[in-house]
Chains A and B, each alone.
Chain A
């Protein structure tokens, strides 16, 4: 650590030698091990690390909101010089939201759904100040205006579910900053948001923080966000701080092998040239595919949601088509229609030469095998009560394969996804997230599909694991000459794995072409806006040889 302390002001936060003990029986003794760092006024310090690195534990320790099972065992946390690790509960309550505030990852669930947003901010003022109702209200309207929410009066009276994710995060920020705390802790505040919303929120945090001179401890796993917002970066692994320094130095000249590995794993936003093949037979083609949801009622006009409109796509053998878009763009709807998990309401789907969009469930059954999906969340897409072996062979056995043949196939597939074939009799919880996603891939491949759909299949994974799974998927595509439909919101991932890219917005494909063309010279305004919002787009993350 070599911080140049040019600022003579006292740091707002000093963490010294902090250790937090995990309950007995955990995979390691300490969640956080002898971590020290400081946050100065007006400074944004990023804590970066993969899941399990202890970054959130540090944040919760500072706020005094640790789960009861976790115990700080040594060290000090100084908030403007006061050791809050030694403070009692009532002192901590006084400090929360007045001196230190926190915003969380999930704006969708972080607000109380049964209270209006205005009242939720009002609680902060009613608890910590002597202001009367009218003064509180005008202060709240002012802060809602400052976080750039439109029509503050209306927002004040709105319930959280009436607002978008970005607006809810603005409410959280307003709540956190209404009393001008000296320290703001932001725990992955933009991870759950769309890329364009993320860019706005990052800008807002930076502006407010600069204006008030607030120190910010910003927790993230995303190096794009780090490049965008951080003044200094601290890299954590398994609870230990491995490297800390100014952002520019960490990103371009990392010293620690782990930091190098992490930064090298960040996918580049520039597509790799993969050579366009136009020769393979078409595996899947959609014609004016549409999906409309409608809800009707007695006395009201029926509400109609067009989730997908006139979607034309085609994928050839050995090719990866990416569908890129923000939440609600219809990309998953299209994938689910193609797999006939939901029924399209218009258009045609050709699987080879067979039209399957309107086929009845009974006739569809033999074709089910030909399209397989790998889902986003490897923790929830496997039945926790059956062994992974049973999960893998269930599909093929449904289609008539004998048990021992299916098991032999499963063993071979486990090798394909680089897992130990002898672990087929284990249960999903005995595997890590990355391993589970490999098992999900093996499960899909066991059906010997012609089309593999990966629906945000790497989005829940840490960046280093994500890299391995992406490489595996691409290797399998080449080896089996598979057609792959890759759904993602992550432009960097799309750039690395797709031959063709379709950009979706509001149910429509707004741009469709080869990855090089779409990424290199986007034509549509929405595509351009999407790229402009990608965090760290101007930063080419280096590829460092592991030291």
Chain B
């Protein structure tokens, strides 16, 4: 087990190196001079050269890379060209809404999708099953922003139950925080419910044909116990895998959802940084997302052992 974790942690290094190189090069090769953008439309060429010099943009590209990597390894992510703050500060400010959104979304998605999938598998071929499958197709195909605006129209504007936009810090006013979290989370959860429900249904359906399910029924156990205790735990591994993969989609979804609901999170920070060619911020955000993604999937792999004793690393 320890062996496995160490090996996996070592394996993260090449992954992140590739991501780092890619992120670094991709931005440098994009047309447009960041120094000119920072200096503004009325700047003289001297001012631009000065900025370029200050930021090290006139060094050879590999020197820039070495300096950049060296700084990052020391925890120095640079200073935002645009926001005039250190990137570390910037991210620390913006991380709470995104984290809150991600957690709420996952909780809602799992709480809704897993029972839905189990029910659909148990009533295979029935109306319930067809409803779940239909919902899945819809959840996949309707874009996040459409769902977002529809929900805002119905629940915030027409019914007036919830605020339209904005964010309140959890420490400031918990109720206000919760109120403003409901719609964004539900919006983002729709696609996950679709994904997880479908996977749960397929996985449970397969398990229900297993011999040990027959054994469990032959013991005289009730259907509920057979489903929840015997079927679901055996079906857990593929479901967990899909949740892990879904985290990537969650990051993409957060960008759109935060824009729709005006949440000051990392998603919106990414958009703002891209539009203003704020290299240090863009690079750090992308690196952060890849670390999160790799670590979460490592955690998911480790969590397999909790569900299936046959998996030993």
CA gap between A299 and B1 in the complex, in Å: 10
CA gap between A507 and B252 in the complex, in Å: 55
Q: Which of B2, B211, B220, B308 contacts A110 (CB 8 A)?
A: B211
A 70-91 to B, binary, CB cutoff 8 A, 1 in contact else 0? 0000000000000000000000
B residues in contact with A98, CB < 8 Å: 220
Interface size class of B (residues with CB under 8 A): 20 to 34
CA gap between A127 and B218 in the complex, in Å: 12
Question: Are B220 and A298 in contact (CB-based, < 8 A)?
Answer: no
CA gap between A297 and B234 in the complex, in Å: 27
8 shortest A-B CB distances, which residue pairs?
A96-B220, A109-B211, A112-B212, A93-B220, A110-B211, A159-B309, A298-B3, A110-B215
Q: In chain A, what residue has the closest Cβ to B234?
A: A114
CA gap between A98 and B220 in the complex, in Å: 9
Does A102 count as interface, using CB distance less than 8 angstroms?
A: yes
In residues 200-249 of chain B, which contact A (Cβ within 8 Å)?
A: 210-212, 214-222, 225, 229-230, 233-234
Question: Are A111 and B217 in contact (CB-based, < 8 A)?
Answer: no
Does B177 count as interface, using CB distance less than 8 angstroms?
A: no
| Shortest Cβ gap from B254 to chain A (Å) | 34
In residues 113-142 of chain B, which contact A (Cβ within 8 Å)?
A: none
A–B Cβ pairs within 8 angstroms, 22 of them: A63-B218, A65-B218, A93-B222, A97-B218, A98-B220, A104-B214, A110-B212, A110-B215, A112-B216, A112-B234, A113-B234, A113-B309, A114-B308, A123-B216, A123-B219, A124-B220, A159-B309, A172-B215, A297-B3, A298-B6, A299-B2, A299-B3
> Can you name 14 extra interface pairs (CB under 8 A) apart from A96-B218, A104-B214, A109-B211?
A65-B214, A93-B220, A97-B218, A110-B215, A111-B212, A111-B215, A112-B216, A114-B234, A114-B307, A127-B221, A159-B309, A161-B309, A175-B219, A298-B3
Does B54 count as interface, using CB distance less than 8 angstroms?
A: no
B residues in contact with A110, CB < 8 Å: 211-212, 214-215
CA gap between A128 and B221 in the complex, in Å: 9
CA gap between A111 and B212 in the complex, in Å: 5
Residue among B6, B214, B219, B233 with max Cβ neighbours from chain A (10 Å): B219
Does A6 count as interface, using CB distance less than 8 angstroms?
A: no
A residues in contact with B308, CB < 8 Å: 113-114
Q: In chain B, what residue has the closest Cβ to A112?
A: B212
CA gap between A106 and B225 in the complex, in Å: 23
A 297-341 to B, binary, CB cutoff 8 A, 1 in contact else 0? 111100000000000000000000000000000000000000000
A residues in contact with B229, CB < 8 Å: 115, 123
CA gap between A124 and B2 in the complex, in Å: 37
Does A95 count as interface, using CB distance less than 8 angstroms?
A: yes
Does A94 count as interface, using CB distance less than 8 angstroms?
A: yes
Does A40 count as interface, using CB distance less than 8 angstroms?
A: no
CA gap between A300 and B233 in the complex, in Å: 30
In residues 155-184 of chain A, which contact B (Cβ within 8 Å)?
A: 159, 161, 172, 175
A residues in contact with B234, CB < 8 Å: 112-114
Interface residues of B, Cβ cutoff 8 Å to A:
2-3, 6-7, 210-212, 214-222, 225, 229-230, 233-234, 307-310
Question: Are A97 and B220 in contact (CB-based, < 8 A)?
Answer: yes
A residues in contact with B221, CB < 8 Å: 93, 123, 127
| Shortest Cβ gap from A187 to chain B (Å) | 10
Question: Are A101 and B233 in contact (CB-based, < 8 A)?
Answer: no
Question: Are A102 and B218 in contact (CB-based, < 8 A)?
Answer: yes
In residues 489-536 of chain A, which contact B (Cβ within 8 Å)?
A: none
Question: Are B7 and A298 in contact (CB-based, < 8 A)?
Answer: yes
Interface size class of A (residues with CB under 8 A): 20 to 34
Task: Given A161-B310, A175-B219, check contact A113 B212 (CB 8 Å).
Answer: yes
Q: In chain A, what residue has the closest Cβ to B218?
A: A102
CA gap between A97 and B221 in the complex, in Å: 10
CA gap between A123 and B3 in the complex, in Å: 35
B residues in contact with A95, CB < 8 Å: 220
A 23-45 to B, binary, CB cutoff 8 A, 1 in contact else 0? 00000000000000000000000
Q: In chain A, what residue has the closest Cβ to B212?
A: A112
B residues in contact with A97, CB < 8 Å: 218-220
Residue among A92, A95, A114, A128 with max Cβ neighbours from chain B (10 Å): A114
| Shortest Cβ gap from B203 to chain A (Å) | 13
Residue among B212, B217, B222 with max Cβ neighbours from chain A (10 Å): B212
| Shortest Cβ gap from A110 to chain B (Å) | 5
| Shortest Cβ gap from A171 to chain B (Å) | 10
Task: Given A112-B230, A112-B234, A113-B308, check contact A101 B218 (CB 8 Å).
Answer: yes
Q: Which of B2, B215, B218, B307 contacts A112 (CB 8 A)?
A: B215
CA gap between A65 and B223 in the complex, in Å: 12
Residue among B211, B215, B217, B308 with max Cβ neighbours from chain A (10 Å): B215
Q: In chain A, what residue has the closest Cβ to B310?
A: A161
In residues 359-399 of chain A, which contact B (Cβ within 8 Å)?
A: none
Task: Given A104-B214, A161-B310, check contact A124 B233 (CB 8 Å).
Answer: no
| Shortest Cβ gap from B303 to chain A (Å) | 13
A residues in contact with B215, CB < 8 Å: 104, 110-112, 172, 175
| Shortest Cβ gap from A462 to chain B (Å) | 22
B residues in contact with A111, CB < 8 Å: 212, 215
B residues in contact with A161, CB < 8 Å: 309-310
Task: Given A109-B211, A159-B310, A298-B6, check contact A114 B220 (CB 8 Å).
Answer: no
CA gap between A106 and B211 in the complex, in Å: 8
A residues in contact with B310, CB < 8 Å: 113-114, 159, 161
Question: Are A65 and B217 in contact (CB-based, < 8 A)?
Answer: yes
Q: In chain A, what residue has the closest Cβ to B215?
A: A110
CA gap between A109 and B221 in the complex, in Å: 18
